[in-house]
Amino acid sequence: MKSIYLIRLGNSNTAFEMREVKDPVPGEGEVLIEVEASGLNFADVLARRGLYPDAPRIPCVLGYEVVGRVIGVGEGVEKLSSGDRVLAFTRFGGYSDKVVTHSMVTVKIPEAMDSGVATALATQYCTAWYAAAEMVCLKTGDHVLIQAAAGGVGTALVQMAKRRGCVVFGTAGSQTKLDYLREIGVDHPINYRQNDFEKEIRNICGERGLDVVFDSIGGKTFRKGYNLLGSGGRIVAFGVAGMTGSRWDFFRVLRTVLGFGFVHSLQLLSNSKCVLGVNMLKIAENRPEVLQRCMRTVVDLAEKGELNPTVGGEYPADQVAEAHAFLETRKSTGKVILRWAG
């Protein structure tokens, strides 16, 4: 089989190597999948830059999710069989044309579902669903800020917030992305490059404050979002995109870390605010039944047309460097995927 190995940290054009390796064999409770498409996530960019502590040591294979067809099952697998078309969470290893993963994080998908759409449902839509529906339980009328709202998780959060009847503020960095946010229902699109989103939102909300903030940027962006929360407000952190740029920059990383500021439990208590963190890799490792529940829910809602993932870029697997470079520019909207021939 073919796997794309991360062989060195740094720029995408020198980071990867396609290798022929032995086909994996499914163990107890596992399935072997022939892959149609592998998903890219911003965590992959962080891992390539050496900024993702959970990533395995290089050389390694990145990738959190795949769409494909089951071609083998291990002992004890009862609800999946060879021939099933599936979406699967891979916990690394997804940049391969064959993967083995646990059946607990593998769910059937319709034959007609586009593989790019399906790929978006694993990490990005499950992250959004777990954050929005299970951790904060959005309610009608909630005022919600979604940072980087045109990205994969951002798009999913917008759809889920509008489905709940929320008033949505969304940030993006270009006119094209602002137009996209209006198309998907964002009530107040804000260009964070041209305007201070904190001031913009205060002008609209006044003293009311926000009910929920979803933050994937980190640093001072997180701190500003926290400051915008009203009583009972919750901020959910699920990324640190502020650490990355076109090149490695120690001082950017340091500024991002320090920019978070300091939040003490007494502050949270006295102001009735809540800070939450989401890492779906840890959920998959320690509570796979939760990830399975989220996956089944978002697949069902997508099949019904209640969730509509956007595919923002498709690349042949041998153009992984170009796909990474595109994702890192933050010009993408929705999901970026690699397609495997076959």
| Percent of the chain at pLDDT exceeding 90 | 76
Q: How confident is the model at residue 73 (pLDDT cuts 50, 70, 90)?
A: very high
Amino acid at residue number 75 = E
Task: Considering only residues 211 and 54, tell me which one the structure prediction assigns the higher pLDDT.
Answer: 211
Q: What is the pLDDT of residue 270?
A: 81
**Torsion over CA: 42, 61, 282, 135 (sign):** positive
Evaluate whether the domain defined by 2-121+298-339 bears CATH number 3.90.180.10.
Answer: yes
Q: Per residue in 295-306, pLDDT tens?
A: 999 999 999 999
Q: Per residue in 304-318, pLDDT tens?
A: 999 999 898 999 999
Rounded-to-integer distance, Cα 31 and Cα 85, Å: 12
Q: What is the pLDDT of residue 9?
A: 94
Rounded-to-integer distance, Cα 150 and Cα 145, Å: 12
- Whether residue 15 has pLDDT greater than 90: yes
Indicate the pairing of strand 16-20 with strand 65-73: unpaired
Rounded-to-integer distance, Cα 285 and Cα 102, Å: 11
Task: Considering only residues 211 and 331, tell me which one the structure prediction assigns the higher pLDDT.
Answer: 211
Amino acid at residue number 82 = S
Q: Per residue in 229-254, pLDDT tens?
A: 999 999 999 876 665 554 556 666 66
Report whether 298 contacts 290 (CB < 8 A): no
Amino acid at residue number 198 = E
Residue spans of the domains in the chain: they are: 2-121+298-339, 139-278
CATH says 139-278 is which class? alpha beta
Q: What is the pLDDT of residue 85?
A: 98
Q: How confident is the model at residue 269 (pLDDT cuts 50, 70, 90)?
A: confident
- End-to-end CA separation in angstroms for the chain: 12
User: Mean pLDDT for the chain?
Assistant: 91
Which residue shows structure tokens 């153009």?
A: 319
Can 2-121+298-339 and 139-278 be said to share one CATH topology?
A: no
Q: Measured over all CA atoms, what is the biggest interatomic distance in the chain, rounded to whole angstroms?
A: 61
Q: C-alpha 84: how far from its chain's center?
A: 25
Instruction: Taking residues 180-204, report their average pLDDT.
Output: 95
Indicate the pairing of strand 167-172 with strand 143-146: parallel
Report whether 7 contacts 58 (CB < 8 A): yes
